Structure 1
Amino acid sequence: MTVSTVQSDATVDQVRGFNRFYTRVLGLLRPQLVGSAFGLTEARVLYELAHADQVAVSELRSALDLDAGYLSRLLSRFIAAGLVEREQSAVDGRRQVVRLTPSGRAAFDELDALQTDAIERLIDPLDEAQRTALVTAMGRIRRVLDGAAPGALILRPPAPGDLGWVVERHGARYAAEYGWDVGFEALVARIVADFADRRDTTSQAAWIAELDGERVGCVFCTASDTPGTAQLRLLLVEPHARGAGVGTRLVDECLRFARRAGYTRIMLWTNDVLLAARRIYERAGFHLDRSEPHTSFGRELVGEYWSRDL
């Protein structure tokens, strides 16, 4: 059995285990279990109708992936109960549209309140950090499985706990992607410690990038050994956030700060294996000044010095 087969089997087992767990959680939130008279499919239909003035029956069937006959019978029951009304479309006489009646709206509002209460009871034991972690994980699952667009990107100054995260993520990511040893994590720790010790907000700054409340990247701008020249350091973007423009935003923010701080030039040091970062630097107007081979972090590398005017 190959390594990839073993990994694939392990992933399948993890997904199946999560599915069993999540199915139990969802069961607690089913309409009938929270005190509603409606079943799950009925609740889904009411939800779709409650969020539109009117919906074509064909579009409703497609959105919910329901059998045409089953949906027709369900709508007929709703119409008989006075919850839904159906008529021909004013735009296309061949199509039928449905909408909630005032009674249907009241029934949905009651169902919505019951399910909201059930969710609040479910998350009530969680503290703020746990709630953020829960929502963040849900967003990541949607992006990975459904190709959902990333949420709002926020760049903010480091808060307590962020500097430790910068060190940990650099150590973990570079070990996983490039096989670098603990020597790199030690270097990052020294850079971060020096930044924190200086407590200088006029000539240095750092930013943490967040997507949907999750930390996904960082960058630092510090003074270099050359007067009037800033240094861009510790650019990092987590793999699942790449392609969302996080790295570009971080570098742009670093350049803006360097200009405001009065620097006339900015430089950085990187290695030729960091291809994605090099592309970001090139797009930001940096050019390669020189390269030199070195042995660091347990690897034979080619270090590169890049710079640009501000």
Structure 2
Amino acid sequence: MVGGILKMNKKLKDRVSIIRSFNRYYTNILGLLDQHLLESDLSLSEVRVLHEIEKNEKCTSRMLVDILCMDAGYLSRILKKFYKMGLLIKEKSAKDARAQYLYLTAEGKEKMDELNNSSDEQIVQIIKPLTEIDKNCLVQNMTSIETILTDGANIKLEDITIRTDVRPGDIGYITYMHGWIYGEEYGYSSAFEGYVAESFQKFLLNYNQDNDSLWCAEHNGNIIGCIGIVGHGERAQLRWFLINPHYRKIGLGKKLLQESLDFAKAKNYRSVYLDTTSDLDKAISMYKRVGFIKKLETANNSWREDLTELEFEMEL
């Protein structure tokens, strides 16, 4: 900061400008929603408070302040309004006399149903003119915004769906994921992305659902992880094991790995092998925990200098 003004390079300035432009646009959208909700004598902020009370079991005013980043005094006035309207009751905690839990009354729940229906209809009208592709893209991008800004803090394993049908665009996107994740996290060159693309070309040309499978993990339509099994006679090869950084530490990697191994066992493969590199410590640790043993170690400078390629195998 110089003289109270933040100095920014052009790249950062352009990013800030785009984000601010989006904020102004979306504020107008929220204004339309707020105007609609005011017809029911409740503002958008008040509806958000009711929503959080309904969603969170044993909700307290302290929780609401933290969740909504709301001024405690302002929240207090909102809660008093709700008490007067008969929408809210409070109950003392049996374990902590200082804590008071907030619950919606029957009237409060009825009001939320009414507001949710109205809000749903408002959103339906906003997206109605869009094509199906644009609707999907809108939802996926909104999901990405929240996930990136929270670093996946609100994501749970049950939020993720896993499918095995290969759809148009899957292979291209997964190849792209390999390129940017390995490039950013491990400094791999674009040659690695070419290697992945070549491996997928062979997979598609020889794909046999009786022997091979590709698992795609999705969050609201976004592919955020994958793993594959490719048959080679009595052996199966585990390939393309990758998780978007924002979706790690929720057990998704363990789930994908187990599903692929269960598939290999069900198909009566004698063993499963995989190729990895020595710098993927967390992945190697996971492989070892489920029973993979290192069989081979060779130098590989194709994607980065001083890289060692490892082959692991597990008997089934």
Instruction: Tell me which interval the TM-score lies in, with the shorter structure as reference length.
Output: 0.7 to 0.9
> Corresponding residue for 1:254?
260
In 1, Cα distance between equivalents of 2:190 and 2:66: 53
Gaps of 5+ in 1: none
Read off the aligned partner of 1:239 and give its amino acid letter: P
In 2, Cα distance between equivalents of 1:26 and 1:113: 16
RMSD over aligned Cα, in angstroms? 3.9
Moved more, 152-161 or 106-115: 106-115
Read off the aligned partner of 2:250 and give its amino acid letter: A
Q: 1:42 to 1:78 in 2, by over 3 A?
A: farther
Question: Residue 291 of structure 1 contacts residue 303 of structure 1 at CA under 8 Å; is this kept in 2?
Answer: yes
**Residue 194 (structure 1) shift:** 1.5
1:201 aligns with 2:217: no
**Residue 119 (structure 1) shift:** 1.1
Q: TM-score scaled by structure 1?
A: 0.77
Alignment of 1:295-310 (within 5 A): 295-297=301-303, 299-310=305-316
Query: SS of the counterpart of 1:218?
Result: strand
1:134 aligns with 2:138: yes
Q: 1:239-298 deviations in whole A, cap 9, x for unaligned?
A: 222222222222212211111111111111111122232222122211111211122135
Moved more, 51-60 or 24-33: 51-60
Read off the aligned partner of 1:253 and give its amino acid letter: E
Name which of 115, 118, 129 aligns with 1:114.
118
Question: Residue 180 of structure 1 contacts residue 299 of structure 1 at CA under 8 Å; is this kept in 2?
Answer: no
Question: Residue 183 of structure 1 contacts residue 297 of structure 1 at CA under 8 Å; is this kept in 2?
Answer: yes
Read off the aligned partner of 2:301 and give its amino acid letter: T
Alignment of 1:1-310 (within 5 A): 6=9, 12-32=16-36, 35-44=39-48, 47=51, 65=70, 67-68=72-73, 71-72=76-77, 75=80, 79=84, 84=87, 100=105, 102=107, 109-146=113-150, 147-150=153-156, 152-157=159-164, 158-224=166-232, 227-297=233-303, 299-310=305-316
Q: Percent identity?
A: 28
Gaps of 5+ in 2: 2-7
Q: 1:301 to 1:67 in 2, by over 3 A?
A: closer
**Residue 303 (structure 1) shift:** 1.0
Q: Which has the larger radius of gyration?
A: 1
Question: Residue 229 of structure 1 contacts residue 264 of structure 1 at CA under 8 Å; is this kept in 2?
Answer: yes
Moved more, 82-91 or 275-284: 82-91
In 2, Cα distance between equivalents of 1:230 and 1:12: 48
Q: 1:94-113 deviations in whole A, cap 9, x for unaligned?
A: 979785575x6665554443
Q: TM-score scaled by structure 2?
A: 0.76
**Residue 215 (structure 1) shift:** 0.5
Moved more, 146-155 or 213-222: 146-155
Q: 1:106 to 1:258 in 2, by over 3 A?
A: closer
Query: SS of the counterpart of 1:305?
Result: strand
Question: Residue 53 of structure 2 contacts residue 102 of structure 2 at CA under 8 Å; is this kept in 1?
Answer: no
In 1, Cα distance between equivalents of 2:81 and 2:236: 70
